[in-house]
Amino acid sequence: MALYRINMNVTPLIYNTYYKCYVNMNKLHFLKGQSMKNRQFPLKYISTQRNDSLKKIFKEVSHLQEYITIRKSQALRSILVQIESMKSYKDLITYCSKFGPVENIYCYTLPKQHQFVLLEFKNLQAVQDIYKDATFIDNYIPSKTNVLWFRKVSNDKMKLYSKFTTSKFMTSRSLLIKENVIRDLIVSSSSISNQMITLYNEYKLDELEIRLKFLTIVQLEHSFASLFPNVIIHPFGSFINGFGKRLSDLDLIFFVDGLKVENLSSRLVFHGKSTIMSEKEQMHVFMGVIADTMKYIIPGICNVRRIFNARVPIIKFHNLFTYTECDLSMSNVIATYMSEVLFLYSELDSRVKPLIFTIRKWAKDNKLTNIYPGRTITNFSLTLLVIFYLQQIDILPVISNMTTYSEITNEYQRNLKKVYMHYSSDDSISYTNNNADLGSLLIDLFRFYSNFNFKRKQICLQTGIAIESEHDSALYIRNPFEDGLNVSKNVSFDEVQRIKSLMSTAVTNLRNTELSKPKKWGILSILNFSEPSNCDINISEILYRETNKEGTENEIIKSTEEKNVNTTLNTKTMDVTTNKKTVSQK
């Protein structure tokens, strides 16, 4: 057997330093009829994805759940395989093709030169046959997931079944993903509108990263299915609502009984475990089980942190192999509804995404947002501010006009007065007569909020009206799904004044530089792009500092594990057979 399962976590990498590291890209020669997509991405990769067919698949998608279903279906038909080097690529494709037709192939390199290949098969049966064929590593906790190793074999054995003997590799030079490359592209744009479109195209999620995140979801669902047969893990947040950027976190909600449908006609009923704990205590116990399972059992999961004292308890963790930082909760159902509304807004008008990406980049570069909770405004609140502005100028409809009421039948009903889940096709798809370009919208948005009276008005997206109301908050944005909840209550008065001041300055800079076009013209006059670093990043030192936070025991386990797995990977085999035959090692 050449394919075998990864059974433990190896080589932890710190996600927030990836963008500083060198990555390699290899140009591959494919068989006749195959195409190659070659672009600069944070995860450098080569793809055989047929773009036209992908666009056709999603062309008719108008509902978020339909999009998620399609993406999960792709992930179910996919496996992620770690290979020793890109030289093993052709051998891997040949080996896997015997299980069924391969639909799409993605290759990428992580820091420390870890090589991965993502294969999507045409049929689910091919993946199921691979699971039956793959083996586990001795002396490791067995875990059956969609992440595998590809074991080396002797050169003689490789020649027997290789169909790619005439294919060749051409390795390109090492590339560094630099913000100055994006900056140069923006400089060469012909207008502020084109600058914003370029910014959006360069920072938005790429196809590989989307697939890897859904592969992470399917891996977790598959791992927990035996413990929770009705489990559903549902994505929400910026990744799924249309406003996700490269290297963004993956927000997940864990439904223990997501597929629960009781068959009243059945006389045989499974026993269940009752509990006398409160709902909150039960949730913490369940999340503790989930956290421990991910930490000790599921391959690729590391740096698991429990944050149970928050308003919405979460588990934070990192997936090494899919390059993904994740937040998992069990009670944030409202966020899934909001994701659905934002997804629809992002699809209604092509100007929405570039405008929001530009505003978020501007806020980040001016330190108006922060990755840590505090008194600063969040990206979510900024997104709602942009949508509210677009409602004022009749580009986007108000929520009450594009949705209809739906009934909530679970335990969250008592906390909700109105929930909008069914979209009205007559009201939601409206065509605006406002044809203002992106540059004009950006300047007008800054002007609109620099003069806005946040102290005396509440922002309401349901009606699209700034409601006159005295309140104690510096910024009041009504939660569309929970009456009386201010989603921006954390923002301080000083921060609101700073936002208004910087918006006023942005209007002046955009107007002045659009005409004269100096080196930093247009949106470059309000953004800050970091300069590339010429020095190497000491990943080992960074990892040592980070893993030390979890204690010496974890550090020792990880280093030993890495050593053992690397030794196993480098072991050459003389004979590779399937089914009941054994693997003899040299």
DSSP-derived secondary structure for 228-274: STT-EEEEESHHHHT--BTT--EEEEEETTTT----TT-S-------
Could you tell me which residue, 108 or 52, shows the higher pLDDT?
108
Looking at 26-181, which runs of residues are DSSP E strands? Answer: 26-28, 37-39, 44-47, 78-83, 102-110, 114-121, 147-150, 169-171, 175-176
Judged by DSSP in three states, 529 sits in: coil
Q: What pLDDT sits at residue 230? A: 87
Q: What pLDDT sits at residue 407? A: 39
H helix runs in 81-237, sequence order = 89-97, 124-133, 155-161, 179-187, 192-203, 207-224
How does pLDDT run across 84-114, given as a tens digit for each residue? 887 888 899 999 999 999 999 988 888 776 7
Measure the CA–CA gap between 352 and 242, rounded to whole angstroms: 10
Q: What pLDDT sits at residue 259? A: 63
User: What average pLDDT does range 560-566 have in this prediction?
Assistant: 42
Closest by CA position to 310, among listed 277, 284, 275, 335? 284
Cβ atoms within 10 Å of 171's Cβ, excluding its own? 11
Measure the CA–CA gap between 578 and 134, rounded to whole angstroms: 8
Whole-number average pLDDT of the chain: 76
Q: What pLDDT sits at residue 533? A: 44
Could you tell me which residue, 143 or 384, shows the higher pLDDT?
384
Q: What pLDDT sits at residue 486? A: 94
Residues in Cβ contact with 37 at an 8 Å cutoff, skipping those fewer than 6 apart: 46, 47, 48, 49, 51, 207
Q: What pLDDT sits at residue 138? A: 83
Judged by DSSP in three states, 157 sits in: helix
User: What average pLDDT does range 109-136 have in this prediction?
Assistant: 90
Measure the CA–CA gap between 320 and 116, rounded to whole angstroms: 11
Question: What are 162's two structure tokens?
Answer: 């290789």
Could you tell me which residue, 282 or 214, shows the higher pLDDT?
214
User: What average pLDDT does range 137-165 have in this prediction?
Assistant: 71
pLDDT interval class at 178 (50, 70, 90): low
Handedness of CA 190, 194, 199, 201 (dihedral sign): negative
The answer to whether 77 touches 122, Cβ cutoff 8 Å, is yes
Closest by CA position to 422, among listed 440, 408, 410, 441? 408
Measure the CA–CA gap between 476 and 454, rounded to whole angstroms: 7
Could you tell me which residue, 284 or 156, shows the higher pLDDT?
284
Measure the CA–CA gap between 410 and 19, rounded to whole angstroms: 42
Q: Specify the pTM.
A: 0.77
Closest by CA position to 585, among listed 92, 149, 1? 1
Could you tell me which residue, 313 or 54, shows the higher pLDDT?
313
User: What average pLDDT does range 478-500 have in this prediction?
Assistant: 93
User: What average pLDDT does range 552-568 have in this prediction?
Assistant: 39
User: What average pLDDT does range 196-213 have in this prediction?
Assistant: 93
Highest-confidence segment of 41-50, 211-220, 277-286? 211-220
pLDDT surpassing 60 at residue 411: no
User: What average pLDDT does range 1-20 have in this prediction?
Assistant: 39
Could you tell me which residue, 311 or 190, shows the higher pLDDT?
190
pLDDT interval class at 258 (50, 70, 90): low
Measure the CA–CA gap between 382 and 367, rounded to whole angstroms: 13
The answer to whether 398 touches 464, Cβ cutoff 8 Å, is yes
Q: What pLDDT sits at residue 218? A: 97
User: What average pLDDT does range 452-462 have in this prediction?
Assistant: 94
Measure the CA–CA gap between 488 and 479, rounded to whole angstroms: 9
pLDDT interval class at 401 (50, 70, 90): confident
pLDDT surpassing 90 at residue 156: no
pLDDT surpassing 90 at residue 140: no
Could you tell me which residue, 50 or 470, shows the higher pLDDT?
470
Residues in Cβ contact with 296 at an 8 Å cutoff, skipping those fewer than 6 apart: 141
Judged by DSSP in three states, 547 sits in: helix
pLDDT interval class at 155 (50, 70, 90): low
User: What average pLDDT does range 359-367 have in this prediction?
Assistant: 96
Q: What pLDDT sits at residue 557? A: 33
Q: What pLDDT sits at residue 39? A: 28
Closest by CA position to 357, among listed 241, 466, 472, 262? 241
pLDDT surpassing 90 at residue 228: no
pLDDT interval class at 273 (50, 70, 90): confident
Closest by CA position to 165, among listed 251, 90, 81? 90
Tell me how far CA of residue 448 lies from CA of 128, 365, 389, 435, 524, in angstroms.
56, 21, 8, 18, 21
Could you tell me which residue, 87 or 185, shows the higher pLDDT?
185
Strand pairing class (403-405; 420-423): antiparallel
Q: What pLDDT sits at residue 55? A: 47
Cα 11 from chain centroid (whole Å): 21
pLDDT surpassing 80 at residue 280: yes
